[in-house]
Amino acid sequence: MKTYRINEIFYSLQGEGRHTGRAAVFVRFSGCNLKCPFCDTDFREYKEMTADEITKAIAKWKDCGFVVLTGGEPSLQVDEALIDALHREGFYIAIETNGTCPLPPTIDWVTLSPKNCFVEHAPALSAKKVDEVKVVFDGIHDPESWGRVSCMYLNLQPCDTGNAERNREVTRQCVEYIMKHPQWHLSLQTHKLIHIQ
């Protein structure tokens, strides 16, 4: 029986992008095909779980009806069997992906967070149409450098560099960029601002 490497499962609020503030069950997958300098996930720890075990683990939060598949890079593991199992339990399914691997077409909401500009020899984007794009803005790379896919929403998110002074400068530049390019919307990591997971 197929298993998935799960780093953690938890219930919180979506802190980023279009669904900011919405209660969500997060299923964090272990492992990624990129090594971004600002990654905040420890992939060394994980538990092998079947689709049935995952749905049982999140059943206590079923009333929220919203699950976010994140990582790492969830597209390395997510398949139709897992999506079908989550849909059978009544969940609306969102995924946060770097866009380098194909996705099951039945996922309800796709957030593309491209990282090509941060990683040498990154694979090309395979995503062609997504619901939203969330670009991490570091004040160095042009947000347009990620390439273009069809989407409804463009979000620019200041990079958390781990340095408060640098973060203020990156946020200032991010706001300035959006004011000059109003097709972009500001996305903040609100979960960090209000100190929740």
Q: Which residues are catalytic?
A: 26, 32, 36, 39-41, 96, 191
> 186: exposed, middle or buried (C-beta count within 10 Å: 0-12, 13-18, 19+)?
middle
User: Taken in order 41, 45, 50, 56, is the CA torsion positive or negative?
Assistant: negative
Q: What is the DSSP letter of 18?
A: T
Task: Give dist(CA 197, CA 175) in Å, integer.
Answer: 25
Buried b (16+ CB within 10 A) or exposed e, 109-134: bbbbbbbbbbeeebeebebeebbbbb
Opening angle at CA 33, ends 27 and 37, nearest 5: 90
H and E: helices and strands count for the chain: 4, 9
DSSP characters over 98-150: -S-S---TT-SEEEE---GGGSTTPPPP---B-SEEEEEE-SSS-GGGG---B
